Structure 1
Amino acid sequence: MSGAYGRVLVVDDNKVIRQLIRVNLELEGFEVVTAADGVECLDLVHEVRPDVITLDVVMPRLDGVQTAARLRADPRTGHLPVAVISACTPYEVDSGSAAGVDAFLAKPFEPSELVRMVRRLVDRENAVPLDGRRGAGTAGSAAG
């Protein structure tokens, strides 16, 4: 695990949002790498080896739900916690849950909610379950 609390790959096509998320997580000791869309995320994920990935839903080239589905389908990334940071419409939550998204955070968000959600996902990623299986995620949780 890199950084004091872990490494986060932040994926959003809006540069201001990427920077906002980056600053809030770095202030809390996370290492942050950013990508502008799902294609860039999939190009970077094996090199970056993040502990958590955050995805916007509406992005050019490859949206967040499609990106989450591709991450889940790859045995090398299928275990990584994925959070959607978006408007979190019912469609986004339903399609994100079906694609294997672990947590949702609605925009606009409080920085403390962002940090709490990412910390929880990093802790879950680093926990070793007694039965060797992962538990259910927090899909559908508005606060992540």
Structure 2
Amino acid sequence: MRKVLLALADALAIDFERILREEAVEVVRASDGQELLDLAKELLPDLIILERKLPVLDGLSAILLLKNDPQTEKIPVVVVCECKEKQEEDATDAGCDAYLTRPLNPDKIKEIIKNYVR
């Protein structure tokens, strides 16, 4: 089964989980940036969706570590931003493959799934 690793605030994660399950994707959640890195290496998910503000290790640092590790560098990473151009630029500079802005658009999430989860 296709697998997506989420590192998002609870309210945001609930919306993503609903949409991902509609797309027949298994969802695994990480509660902080360090757990995200550990789970990414263990599970090698098809896609990682995270937000910038994560406890323990922030999202941008997590992206840099993921993209500089041969084991996880090819996993696509999508960042959820708060409609601020600088955040999108920072996420892209860190190595994310795509970003979503709030308010979330379910069709855009489904498009991301189709593009990155095979």
Structure 2 CA distance for aligned equivalents of residues 104 and 70 of structure 1: 18
TM-score normalised according to structure 1 size: 0.77
TM-score normalised according to structure 2 size: 0.92
Structure 2 CA distance for aligned equivalents of residues 100 and 24 of structure 1: 25
Q: Is there any run of 5+ residues in structure 1 with no aligned partner, and where?
A: 124-144
Structure 1 CA distance for aligned equivalents of residues 64 and 89 of structure 2: 13
How many residues are treated as equivalent by the alignment?
Answer: 118
Name the structure with the higher helix share. Answer: 2
Structure 1 CA distance for aligned equivalents of residues 7 and 93 of structure 2: 19
Runs of 4+ that moved beyond 3 A? none
Check conservation: 1:33, 1:48, Cα contact below 8 A: no
Structure 2 CA distance for aligned equivalents of residues 100 and 36 of structure 1: 21
1:1-144 to structure 2, matched below 5 A, reads 2=1, 6-12=2-8, 14-123=9-118
Structure 2 CA distance for aligned equivalents of residues 49 and 86 of structure 1: 24
- Root-mean-square deviation (CA, aligned residues, Å) is 1.3
Structure 2 CA distance for aligned equivalents of residues 109 and 17 of structure 1: 9
**Paired residue type of 1:91:** K
Identical aligned residues as a percent: 33
**Paired residue type of 1:67:** A
Post-superposition CA distance 1:23-75 (Å, at most 9, x none): 11011111111112211101211222200001101122111111111100100
Post-superposition CA distance 1:85-120 (Å, at most 9, x none): 121422211211111111010011121211111221
Check conservation: 1:55, 1:64, Cα contact below 8 A: yes
Structure 2 CA distance for aligned equivalents of residues 17 and 31 of structure 1: 17
**Paired residue type of 1:78:** E
Q: Is there any run of 5+ residues in structure 2 with no aligned partner, and where?
A: none
Structure 1 CA distance for aligned equivalents of residues 67 and 94 of structure 2: 7
Structure 2 CA distance for aligned equivalents of residues 119 and 83 of structure 1: 13
State which structure, 1 or 2, has the greater radius of gyration over its C-alpha atoms.
1
